Chain A
Amino acid sequence: AQTVTQSQPEMSVQEAETVTLSCTYDTSESDYYLFWYKQPPSRQMILVIRQEAYKQQNATENRFSVNFQKAAKSFSLKISDSQLGDAAMYFCAYRSAQQLTFGSGTQLTVLP
């Protein structure tokens, strides 16, 4: 079974600074998607960014970008110009035709 590992249970960043959240995954499949979800204190899961494995270009959504290293099976999330509203639990997720797996999450604190 595919596994998704988020090795940082907690991270903190100063407001306006940049932070990178790590995610690694294990798979033998070649066709899959990767996602980052944000879960703020309201607890609703919100999609932050998605990456198709066949695309070499890293996905970007405003202040959020990913560093997708397919050979290394790494999918990190970079948040630039961090804002107080970015404080949340962040989950990395792997999706293929056979599997949908979430990581255990990283709790991000933004310091004013």
Chain B
Amino acid sequence: DGGITQSPKYLFRKEGQNVTLSCEQNLNHDAMYWYRQDPGQGLRLIYYSQIVNDFQKGDIAEGYSVSREKKESFPLTVTSAQKNPTAFYLCASSISVYTGELFFGEGSRLTVL
């Protein structure tokens, strides 16, 4: 089945540690996205990528980093510079960055202890 796989589903981190969230898609989509969702709130864009080896900052990129070395993969690193990293993170993909609906993964819940 085609879709988006995020891992891990739950992650705990101590303050000062970097963590990486995985996102893999087998939909052959060019565009991929990372969103952050806080309790009871909407989605805020962290980073997006139009194509391999290219990515752009979204609205809240500070304290995060990404890479896009393969079309299928778009990992997100939450660095120690992110002041309030506890949140729910959603990865998505679309045919292109200009059109098409977004398909979402199941999300990753990060908790900083």
Contacts and interface: CB of A to CB of B under 8 A. Distances in A.
Interface of A: 33, 35, 37, 42-47, 50, 91, 93, 95, 97, 100, 102-105
Interface string B88-113: 10101000001111111111000000
A44 B37 CA distance: 11
Contacts of A95: 99-101
Contacts of B102: 35, 45, 47, 93, 100
Contacts of B99: 33, 95, 97
A70 to B, nearest CB: 18
B81 interface: no
A91 B102 CA distance: 13
Contacts of A102: 42-43
A105 B44 CA distance: 12
